[in-house]
Amino acid sequence: MYSIEARSLSKHFDGVKAVDDMSFTVDSGEIFGFLGPNGAGKSTMMMILTTLLKPTSGHALVSGYDVMLHPKKVRQKIGYVQQDTVVDEYLTGRENLILHARLSHIPKNQINSRIDDILGLIELEEKQNEPVVTYSGGMRKRLDIAGGLLHRPEVLFLDEPTVGLDIQTRKKIWEYIKKIHDEFGMSLFLSTHYMEEADKLCDRVAIINNGTIQAMDSPQKMKSEMGSDVITMSIDESPGEHLTNVEKIPQVTNINHTANKLVIFASNGADAMPKILEIFSHAGIKINSITMTQPTLDDVFISYTGREISDDRNDSGKPNRPKAKRSIL
């Protein structure tokens, strides 16, 4: 039995298709990611699967229960950590978890032991009796995730779990998510617009854009299908008909052209690059820069959507595209 099974799910708002005929399954114990920009339909799908929103059409099962027919059963089987942290700042960490435990109807004789276990897992024992107002953003998010774990759900939903956090804190949260998954063996459904987050955490990823699934597979397989190398070029003018000659190069597997930028996927970039340079040199097209890198999920997203995730920025405001540059001209 799948942990999650969605069949032809759609959700329309005043004629706008927030979710458009999506179908997918999540295996038991799998970390499954929804990767896409804000407004792609990730949170809408999350709300449908957690019974907070009714679909316009289609069906969904979570832990074997229909989200429309048996919403109460579904809620008993899931944990849900929203994008915005919902802890009470004026309670201590432990008091917040006691409140979560009571709302989740955990037996009174089990509350303290479960809280002790969770606090140890997220490494907040020393801060448990301090008001949450004194916690850092990362500590608050860890406490928020802990609240979703207390009743030991079969499926944990994490909606943009690291949004707004600095990169160091974000990576620390990734460690805790992995640790939690290994400890409990539950299925995780993660929505994110951070490429690296999906790459590091997820067994499989669905790339979402404009309410539809563009591609779905393991991050590694998606990247390998792009070819072994990605050649990125900045040019002064459109390549026009000369792009056809580039497409004919045997090593070239795919090309994306946006404004004055070319992204060329190649099975062997070292062999393809001299041929590409020769074509542009003969055409008199000036190349401002050219780099060759290994494919990332960002490249996969571009190949399917023709654009980058515009709000995927680091603290400097630049796109988060960590790559090891191998050749620069």
Q: Mind listing the pLDDT tens digit for each residue in 149-164?
A: 999 999 999 999 999 8
Among candidates 162, 189, 219, 186, which has minimal Cα distance to 22? Answer: 189
Give me the percent of the chain exceeding a pLDDT of 90. 71
Among residues 307, 242, 317, the alpha carbon closest in space to that of 280 is found at 242
Q: What's the DSSP call for residue 285?
A: P
Report the SS3 class of residue 234: strand
Lookup: tokens for 327: 């050749």
Average pLDDT over the chain, rounded to whole?
Answer: 89
Decide: 119 and 128 in contact? Cβ < 8 Å. yes
Does residue 155 contact residue 3 with C-beta atoms inside 8 Å? yes
Predicted confidence (pLDDT) at residue 74 exceeds the cutoff of 70: yes
Smallest CA-to-CA distance from 326 within 221, 225, 231, 195 is with 231
Span 121-126, average pLDDT: 92
Q: What is the mean pLDDT of residues 121-130?
A: 93
pLDDT in tens, 238-249: 888 888 999 999
SS (H, E, C) 73-121: HHHHHEEEECCCCCCCCCCEHHHHHHHHHHHCCCCHHHHHHHHHHHHHH
Q: Which of 204, 141, 152 is nearest to 174 (CA)?
A: 141
The larger pLDDT score, comparing residue 279 to residue 225, is at 279
For position 245, what pLDDT does the model report? 93
State which amino acid sits at residue 147.
G
Tokens linked to 128:
């448990």
Tens digit of each residue's pLDDT (9 = 90 or more) over 283-300: 898 999 999 998 888 888
Residue with tokens 């499926």: 155
Q: What digits encode the pLDDT tens for the residues 16-43?
A: 999 999 999 999 999 999 999 888 999 9
In this structure, the strands spanning 187-192 and 31-35 are parallel
- Closest-CA residue to 228 (of 299, 277, 278): 299
Token pair 């020393």 in the structure block, residue: 126
192-220 average pLDDT score? 94
